[in-house]
Structure 1
Amino acid sequence: MTYQASLSYAVSQDQQDSLHKFREQFHFPRHEGKEAIYFCGNSLGLQPKALQAAIQQELEDWRTHAVEGYWKAQNPWLYYQQFCRKPLAPLVGALEQEVSVMNTLTTNLHLLMLSFYRPSGKRYKIIMEAGAFPSDQYAVETQVKLYGYNPADAIIEISPRPGEHLIRIEDILQAIGEQSDSLALLLFGGINYYTGQLFDMKALTEAAHQVGAFAGFDLAHAVGNVPLQLHDWEVDFAVWCSYKYLNGGPGAVGGAFIHEKHAAQLDYPRAGGWWGNDESTRFLMEKGFVPKATAEGWQLSTAQVFNMVGLKTSLEIFGSTSIAALREKSIQLTGYLEYLLHQIGSINFEILTPENCAERGAQLSLFFGNQGKAIHQQLTAAGIIVDYREPGVIRFAPAPLYNTYQDVFHVYEIISNIQTF
């Protein structure tokens, strides 16, 4: 695509954008009396304007019906998680029965590792990316300790090669092959939160299965961002949060995928809870856990209505478009941002995110060295909300559901005029 470094070009692209209409369905934070430029959806998505009325509806149903809201509410609470399950399935490339919304990301990761990390004999090791989000590191570290293993021995972290920022897939595949007799689980982020690198989940899953290991993914930065085909890739399990690209709100409910080949096995090992029990016998209040033959068989507790209403509201917006359309625009937005950044000669930086758009999502991570924090402060003062990470990295995430070409151009204008020291 041929880009142009001009406001008129950005305006013309927005006028042609079929997704531009969705911008008006979100609230933007304000800066000096006007909308801020928000490129931080990779940390927390924006609030849908319809959310206030949706929360008010649940409050009204609680006030009016009390406990009978479980079946008399406009959206009966007894089935609330199912209102999110159906629109989520196409976003992750899953069958509806393979998806559940419940708990939080790290809670779900621990629960599913109890099912899919079952070390035995010499097969006890886990391969993960070096520099994974800390919650994933802590979860894996503590899980291997539960079984009496030393994390330094049981956890194999794949790092970028010296002098590089990205992990080469051939290095991951080589490690899988080298650990073929000892590998129990491959656990990777679908997209690395720091660099924005998108991993080939299909190839990694196939490689793990070839050596008899399970494959699981943390999709916190991938769901609602890039197309996924978890069922067809035969991924064993995946977990995610819903407060980033899914705009579910701070601390919103997490999500989980369990492939049907596992979910349909009622005797599959798991931690059980009341809400995962078969609905036909749930209210008999008897001993004997009989799970649903779906991903919901891993649910523990009653649906968290007020923690799900934001996700439900946002998913209704996603239902008016497709992840393919969002991905197409996302590639164009990050491509335009990359193009404009390369026009800047007044400031030194390095783009850590892969140059190939097929290997990244809606994020560019820029390394500014020891100038990073000062530059972030200047961007904030200019009304640009982006994310800073030590040491010296600023993450720019133009979300296609609500960001525009004009947003990208104005970010370029402001960066071009930043004062460095």
Structure 2
Amino acid sequence: MQAKINMGEEIAISLKNISKCFKCYTHPVDRLKEIFLPARSRANEFWALRDINLEIPKGETVGIVGKNGSGKSTLLQIIAGTLTPTTGDVTVNGRVSALLELGSGFNPEFTGRQNVFFNGRLLGLSQKEIEDRFEAIASFADIGDFIDQPVKTYSSGMFVRLAFAVAVNVDPEILIVDEALAVGDIVFQHRCMRRMRSLMDSGVTTLFVSHDSGAVKTLCNSAVMIHEGKIYFSGVPNAVIIKYMKLVTETELETVTIKENLPEKQIHRQNLVTAQPTRRGNSKALIKNIRLLNQQGEELAETPTLGFNEQVTLILEVHVYEELQACIVGFFICDKNGNELIGSNTFEENHSIGKLEPGEQLKIEFKFHLPLRPGSYSLTVAGAENYTAISFDWIDNAMVFQVLPPDTGKRIHALVDIPISVQVSPPKLTAIKK
């Protein structure tokens, strides 16, 4: 499979038929024997990547997802130039700044200050350029006097602070980040996200590997899923994340029917629109007859629209097919990128559902308001026996609807709008034209 994204743009990264093979030896001496007797291979071959074709235009932000061991890190190392592919051609146009693993490229005996200058020179900066950037790097890392201590004395959080500070302050044209933002405190993670967003907005091509689906959906223009060393799926982030979650749960259920020859397990959907629902789960129970009612208790029309901050009622029916020890049913309202904006479930709302037998049915109603910015939104519904169990049913894009602007004429700039009290002292009120 070849992933091509916005082919009309100037290409920053081009991978053609990239494969990477690692040789694994049962005994260390086998490697030596193979050197002196090359006619006989004593290694087991492990192909981390096979036939990867990928083109990324300049300025694109691409998320890369996949299970552990799928080949994501190997792919990034090849792009960064720290690994050579076994076969294929790599073309990278631009200065690459890569944060591939904790403290990569740092000499543990050097101080933080020395490592900043060392890494800066490796990235092609002059001594003067590094000196000009040093205060910004030290301020971003915010590790205090440890900047002049050997990095071997650093905690994991201090390592990643300094490494990230260097990576984002050397004017990269291509930024590669491999799961590094999982380390560090909350304040630093927010700082990293803001800095990455700033770089992306300035046109830096970014490859971002993360198991945080929310970060991928929020930061990325597109995404690629790697599975067993191959490109399994690519496209808009939300679609890729849905595909990835289906693979993680090791279930591939049909959109309309859960299993063949089981017509009684069909999903009954009312007033659903164009976005195709995607379903996964173990099918011990199913969510059916999904309905969204407006404030007047009316079912939504063929093209669902709702008023700003309108109270709605979500009705779900759960049909049980196999014994459940307990049951939690919930929902999310998501934006067009798949980010969850509003959501809850029966457990969190203090409705504990106990053991259920095959043949039982439940009807669940959620009432809530939609204080959302005007636009299109989707509904996700799900159920499981508990928080650690695989879902018995999970439906993404179960329904898509529009939220209209407020009739007051107020402009909503954030995703969610709530009542806010404002006081100005002394009063300086003038007429505001809208």
Q: Fold conserved (TM > 0.5)?
A: no
Higher helix share: 1
**Which TM bucket (shorter chain)?**
under 0.3
Structure ID, larger Rg: 2
TM-score for the superposition, normalised by structure 2: 0.25
TM-score for the superposition, normalised by structure 1: 0.26
Q: Whose relative contact order is higher, 1 or 2, with alpha carbons under 8 Å and at least 6 apart?
A: 1
